[in-house]
Chains A and B, each alone.
Chain A
Amino acid sequence: MARILVVDDEADVREFTKSFFAKRKVEVQVASNGREALEKTKADKFDLVLLDVRMEDMTGTDVLKNLREQGNDVRVIMVTAVEDEEVINEANSWGIVGYIHKPLVLDEMERIVMGELDVRHI
Chain B
Amino acid sequence: MPLFLAPLAVTSLLIFLFGTLLLFKKKEKTANRCFSAICFSASAWLAARSFYHIYSNEGLLRLGYAAITFMPVLLLHFVSVFIELPLLRRKHKTFYLVGAVFSLLILFTKAVIEGVIDSSGGYSLLAGYFFPLYCAFFIITLGLSVSFLVSALISGRFTGRKKIQAKYILISCIFFFLTTFVFIPGKDTGGLTYDLVLLYVSIIILAYAIIKLRLADLGFLVIRALIFIGVYAFIIGIPFLLGSRFRQRLIQAAGDNWWIIPIILSTLLANAGQYVYFFIKKRAEARILQEQQRYQNTLRRASLGMGRIRELKRLLKLIVHIVTRTVRIESCSIYLFHEASGQFTLRAVKGSSEDTGYGILSIDSPIVKYVLRVKEPVVYEEIREKRERYSSDDLLALESQMRFMDAEVAVPSFIEERLIAIIMLGKKNSGGIYTRDDIVVFSILANQSALAIENTRFYEEAKRTHEQLIKAEKMATIGTLADGLSHQINNRLHALGFIAGDILDSIRLRKKGMLPPENEARLFDDIENALGRINENVKHGGEIVEGLLKYTRKGPDGLAPIDINELFNSSLEMAMFKIKPNEMKIISNIGDNAPKVMGNFAQLQEVFFNMIDNSYDAVIQRKAEFREEDYRGFFEFTVQRKGKNIEINAVDNGIGVKTEDMRKVFTPFFSTKSSSNKGTGLGMYVIRQIIEDNHRGKVSFESQYKIGSRVIICLPVAEG
Residues of A participating in the B interface, judged by any CB pair closer than 8 Å: 10, 12-13, 16-17, 19-20, 22-23, 54, 56-57, 81-82, 102-107, 109
Do A13 and B519 touch across chains, with their CB atoms under 8 A apart?
Answer: no
Asked whether any CB of chain A lies closer than 8 Å to the CB of B580, the reply is yes
Please measure, in the bound complex, the distance between the C-alpha atom of A20 and the C-alpha atom of B516, giving whole angstroms. Answer: 11
Do B490 and A81 touch across chains, with their CB atoms under 8 A apart?
Answer: yes
Please measure, in the bound complex, the distance between the C-alpha atom of A109 and the C-alpha atom of B504, giving whole angstroms. Answer: 14
Do B495 and A12 touch across chains, with their CB atoms under 8 A apart?
Answer: yes
Asked whether any CB of chain A lies closer than 8 Å to the CB of B39, the reply is no
Do A103 and B496 touch across chains, with their CB atoms under 8 A apart?
Answer: yes
| A–B Cβ pairs within 8 angstroms, 20 of them | A13-B491, A16-B495, A16-B499, A16-B502, A20-B501, A20-B502, A20-B505, A22-B516, A23-B506, A23-B509, A23-B516, A81-B494, A82-B487, A102-B491, A103-B496, A104-B497, A106-B497, A106-B498, A106-B501, A107-B501
Least CB separation from B496: chain A residue: A103
Q: Which of B490, B500, B502 contacts A19, CB < 8 Å?
A: B502
Least CB separation from A58: chain B residue: B582
User: Hey, which chain A residues are within 8 Å of B499, CB to CB?
Assistant: 12, 16
User: Hey, which chain B residues are within 8 Å of A106, CB to CB?
Assistant: 497-498, 500-502, 504-505
Asked whether any CB of chain A lies closer than 8 Å to the CB of B526, the reply is yes
Do A105 and B581 touch across chains, with their CB atoms under 8 A apart?
Answer: no
User: Hey, which chain B residues are within 8 Å of A12, CB to CB?
Assistant: 495, 498-499, 533, 537
Asked whether any CB of chain A lies closer than 8 Å to the CB of B309, the reply is no
User: Hey, which chain B residues are within 8 Å of A17, CB to CB?
Assistant: 498, 502
User: Hey, which chain B residues are within 8 Å of A57, CB to CB?
Assistant: 582
Do B494 and A102 touch across chains, with their CB atoms under 8 A apart?
Answer: yes
Do A13 and B580 touch across chains, with their CB atoms under 8 A apart?
Answer: no
Do A13 and B509 touch across chains, with their CB atoms under 8 A apart?
Answer: no
User: Hey, which chain B residues are within 8 Å of A81, CB to CB?
Assistant: 486-487, 490-491, 494
Do B519 and A23 touch across chains, with their CB atoms under 8 A apart?
Answer: yes
Please measure, in the bound complex, the distance between the C-alpha atom of A20 and the C-alpha atom of B515, giving whole angstroms. Answer: 11
Least CB separation from B533: chain A residue: A12
Please measure, in the bound complex, the distance between the C-alpha atom of A105 and the C-alpha atom of B503, giving whole angstroms. Answer: 12
Asked whether any CB of chain A lies closer than 8 Å to the CB of B493, the reply is yes
Asked whether any CB of chain A lies closer than 8 Å to the CB of B702, the reply is no
Please measure, in the bound complex, the distance between the C-alpha atom of A12 and the C-alpha atom of B526, giving whole angstroms. Answer: 13
Give per-residue flags for B215-233: 1 if the beta carbon is below 8 A from chain A beta carbons, else 0.
0000000000000000000
Do B580 and A82 touch across chains, with their CB atoms under 8 A apart?
Answer: no
User: Hey, which chain B residues are within 8 Å of A16, CB to CB?
Assistant: 495, 498-499, 501-502, 530
Give per-residue flags for B673-710: 1 if the beta carbon is below 8 A from chain A beta carbons, else 0.
00000000000000000000000000000000000000
Nearest CB of chain B from residue A89's CB, rounded to whole Å:
18
Least CB separation from B526: chain A residue: A19
Asked whether any CB of chain A lies closer than 8 Å to the CB of B483, the reply is yes
Contacts A23-B509, A81-B486, A105-B501 given; does A56 touch B494 at CB 8 Å? no
Do A54 and B487 touch across chains, with their CB atoms under 8 A apart?
Answer: yes
Contacts A23-B515, A56-B580, A103-B490 given; does A10 touch B505 at CB 8 Å? no
Please measure, in the bound complex, the distance between the C-alpha atom of A106 and the C-alpha atom of B496, giving whole angstroms. Answer: 10
Q: Which of B486, B491, B519, B526 has the most CB of A within 10 A?
A: B491
Least CB separation from A54: chain B residue: B487
Nearest CB of chain B from residue A35's CB, rounded to whole Å:
11
Please measure, in the bound complex, the distance between the C-alpha atom of A103 and the C-alpha atom of B505, giving whole angstroms. Answer: 17
Nearest CB of chain B from residue A81's CB, rounded to whole Å:
4
Give per-residue flags for B507-533: 1 if the beta carbon is below 8 A from chain A beta carbons, else 0.
001000001100100000010001001
Do B581 and A56 touch across chains, with their CB atoms under 8 A apart?
Answer: yes
User: Hey, which chain B residues are within 8 Å of A107, CB to CB?
Assistant: 501
Q: Which of A19, A54, A82, A105 contacts B497, CB < 8 Å?
A: A105
Please measure, in the bound complex, the distance between the C-alpha atom of A12 and the C-alpha atom of B503, giving whole angstroms. Answer: 13
Nearest CB of chain A from residue B337's CB, rounded to whole Å:
53
Please measure, in the bound complex, the distance between the C-alpha atom of A81 and the C-alpha atom of B495, giving whole angstroms. Answer: 12
Please measure, in the bound complex, the distance between the C-alpha atom of A119 and the C-alpha atom of B126, giving whole angstroms. Answer: 155
Give per-residue flags for B553-581: 1 if the beta carbon is below 8 A from chain A beta carbons, else 0.
00000000000000000000000000011
Give per-residue flags for B477-492: 1 if the beta carbon is below 8 A from chain A beta carbons, else 0.
0000001001100110
Least CB separation from B536: chain A residue: A12
Nearest CB of chain A from residue B338's CB, rounded to whole Å:
49
Closest 5 A/B residue pairs (Cβ)? A106-B501, A103-B493, A12-B495, A103-B494, A16-B498
Least CB separation from B483: chain A residue: A82
Least CB separation from B490: chain A residue: A81
User: Hey, which chain B residues are within 8 Å of A109, CB to CB?
Assistant: 498, 501
User: Hey, which chain A residues are within 8 Å of B498, CB to CB?
Assistant: 12-13, 16-17, 20, 104, 106, 109
Please measure, in the bound complex, the distance between the C-alpha atom of A82 and the C-alpha atom of B491, giving whole angstroms. Answer: 11
Least CB separation from B530: chain A residue: A16
User: Hey, which chain A residues are within 8 Å of B486, CB to CB?
Assistant: 81-82
Given contacts A22-B516, A22-B519, 13 further A-B contacts (CB under 8 A): A19-B502, A20-B505, A23-B509, A23-B515, A81-B486, A81-B491, A102-B490, A102-B494, A103-B497, A104-B494, A105-B497, A106-B504, A106-B505
User: Hey, which chain B residues are within 8 Å of A19, CB to CB?
Assistant: 502, 526
Nearest CB of chain A from residue B519's CB, rounded to whole Å:
6
Please measure, in the bound complex, the distance between the C-alpha atom of A5 and the C-alpha atom of B394, giving whole angstroms. Answer: 94
Nearest CB of chain B from residue A120's CB, rounded to whole Å:
22
User: Hey, which chain B residues are within 8 Å of A23, CB to CB?
Assistant: 505-506, 509, 515-516, 519
Q: Which of B494, B506, B516, B530 contacts A13, CB < 8 Å?
A: B494
Least CB separation from A107: chain B residue: B501
Nearest CB of chain A from residue B509's CB, rounded to whole Å:
6
User: Hey, which chain A residues are within 8 Å of B500, CB to CB?
Assistant: 106
User: Hey, which chain B residues are within 8 Å of A103, CB to CB?
Assistant: 490, 493-494, 496-497
The B230-266 residues at the A interface (CB cut-off 8 A) are none
Do B502 and A10 touch across chains, with their CB atoms under 8 A apart?
Answer: no
Please measure, in the bound complex, the distance between the C-alpha atom of A82 and the C-alpha atom of B484, giving whole angstroms. Answer: 11
Please measure, in the bound complex, the distance between the C-alpha atom of A107 and the C-alpha atom of B497, giving whole angstroms. Answer: 10
Please measure, in the bound complex, the distance between the C-alpha atom of A107 and the C-alpha atom of B483, giving whole angstroms. Answer: 27
Q: Which of B493, B515, B516, B582 contacts A102, CB < 8 Å?
A: B493
Please measure, in the bound complex, the distance between the C-alpha atom of A103 and the C-alpha atom of B490, giving whole angstroms. Answer: 6
User: Hey, which chain A residues are within 8 Å of B506, CB to CB?
Assistant: 23
Nearest CB of chain A from residue B625's CB, rounded to whole Å:
20
Please measure, in the bound complex, the distance between the C-alpha atom of A56 and the C-alpha atom of B276, giving whole angstroms. Answer: 100
Please measure, in the bound complex, the distance between the C-alpha atom of A54 and the C-alpha atom of B487, giving whole angstroms. Answer: 9
Nearest CB of chain B from residue A9's CB, rounded to whole Å:
8
User: Hey, which chain A residues are within 8 Å of B537, CB to CB?
Assistant: 12
Contacts A20-B505, A23-B505, A103-B490 given; does A10 touch B495 at CB 8 Å? yes
Least CB separation from B498: chain A residue: A16
Nearest CB of chain B from residue A121's CB, rounded to whole Å:
20
User: Hey, which chain A residues are within 8 Å of B505, CB to CB?
Assistant: 20, 23, 106
Least CB separation from A18: chain B residue: B502
Please measure, in the bound complex, the distance between the C-alpha atom of A103 and the C-alpha atom of B530, giving whole angstroms. Answer: 17
Nearest CB of chain A from residue B531's CB, rounded to whole Å:
13
Nearest CB of chain A from residue B536's CB, rounded to whole Å:
8
Nearest CB of chain B from residue A36's CB, rounded to whole Å:
15
Please measure, in the bound complex, the distance between the C-alpha atom of A104 and the C-alpha atom of B509, giving whole angstroms. Answer: 20
User: Hey, which chain A residues are within 8 Å of B497, CB to CB?
Assistant: 103-106
Please measure, in the bound complex, the distance between the C-alpha atom of A102 and the C-alpha atom of B487, giving whole angstroms. Answer: 9
User: Hey, which chain B residues are within 8 Å of A10, CB to CB?
Assistant: 491, 494-495
Nearest CB of chain B from residue A103's CB, rounded to whole Å:
4
